[in-house]
């Protein structure tokens, strides 16, 4: 599998998201998924302290026991674990990092990400604390998530010379959600930031499993009430059109969704979740379509 850079880290172009761990699958099933990912050549694992009510980090850490040297581990902080554990205040950042290290059972986090901006805390204060964690050896690289281009610029201005800087931003991006193309992706190119797309499969809609006019499969993510924003009539119609486009060229919609993202030079790794070894193997194999300029143009026409 191809590997790309996030700062000093070299990550597989397809990564594994851990938001199913502790929410949709238990520790044993999570371990099967993680081991299948490693065996398929995936080395980048992305989770967060809030996933699975903190269980995701625990399950990922257990699954990587004995194989930690093969994994690049990313996690996030800042969204509310509870009323006391949230935000980007310096003292809490240090506590959140220690809590994540304990749950993961590791001695350092490869990529530690601020999960969302905290308008109550100057970004310089948060960055200073993160720099301290890097210097202490608890974190290798730092990143952010859900940041606008303006907030990325602000973070660059607030970074002191010689201090750790954000090397990545993780925002929603898929064939059905292309907002980052307006300003965040150009900012990544300008600021030399890696881009990490979340919801790359539009919460399962771009796997091709949903049939128009029929309910989502009972065990799928799309059966969950909070995913209804993905299954608008327009999105379902576009997904079907793109599925036919891919099939006419001997590919699946899943391969189109992942390969299209992987073709973007700013994208370092396409982080896709999975609940079974079969799913993670399919995701790992999906970044195999080198799209032509003509195909890109046709996809743009079909997806708008």
Asked if residue 34 lies in contact with residue 60, where contact means CB atoms within 8 angstroms, the answer is yes
Instruction: Report which of 142, 159, 149 is spatially closest to residue 185, judged by C-alpha positions.
Output: 149
Cβ contacts of residue 224 below 8 Å, gap of 6+? none
DSSP character for 121? S
C-alpha 117/C-alpha 165 separation (Å) is 15
Q: Tell which residue, 180, 240, 231, 238, has the closest CA to residue 203.
A: 231
From residue 208, alpha-carbon distances to 241, 277, 287 in Å are 11, 18, 16
Q: Is 112 among the residues known to form the active site?
A: no
CA-wise closest residue to 236 among 250, 216, 251, 217: 216
| H helix or E strand, kind and range, residue 38 | helix 27-39
Active site residues: 51
């Amino acid at each position: 599998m191809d590997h790309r850079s996030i700062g000093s880290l070299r990550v597989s172009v397809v990564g594994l998201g851990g938001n199913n761990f502790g929410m949709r699958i238990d520790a044993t099933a999570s371990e099967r998924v993680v081991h299948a990912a490693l065996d398929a050549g995936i080395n980048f694992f992305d989770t967060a302290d809030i996933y699975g009510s903190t269980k995701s980090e625990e399950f990922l850490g257990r699954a990587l026991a004995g194989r930690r040297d093969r994994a690049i581990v990313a996690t996030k902080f800042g969204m509310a674990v509870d009323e006391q554990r949230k935000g980007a205040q310096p003292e809490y950042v240090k506590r959140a990092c220690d809590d994540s290290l304990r749950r993961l059972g590791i001695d350092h986090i490869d990529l530690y990400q601020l999960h969302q901006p905290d308008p109550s805390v100057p970004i310089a204060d948060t960055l200073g604390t993160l720099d301290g964690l890097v210097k202490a050896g608890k974190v290798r690289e730092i990143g952010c998530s859900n940041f606008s281009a303006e907030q990325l610029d602000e973070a660059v201005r607030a970074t002191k010379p010689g201090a750790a800087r954000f090397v990545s931003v993780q925002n929603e991006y898929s064939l059905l959600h292309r907002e980052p193309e307006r300003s965040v992706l150009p900012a990544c190119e300008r600021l030399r930031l890696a881009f990490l797309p979340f919801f790359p499969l539009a919460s399962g809609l771009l796997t091709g499993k949903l049939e128009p006019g029929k309910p989502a499969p009972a065990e799928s993510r799309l059966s969950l009430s909070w995913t209804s924003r993905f299954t608008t009539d327009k999105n379902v119609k576009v997904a079907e059109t793109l599925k036919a486009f891919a099939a006419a060229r001997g590919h699946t919609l899943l391969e189109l969704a992942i390969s299209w993202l992987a073709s973007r030079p700013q994208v370092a790794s396409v982080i896709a979740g999975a609940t079974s070894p079969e799913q993670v193997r399919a995701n790992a194999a999906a970044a195999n379509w080198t799209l032509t300029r003509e195909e890109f143009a046709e996809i743009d026409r079909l997806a708008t």
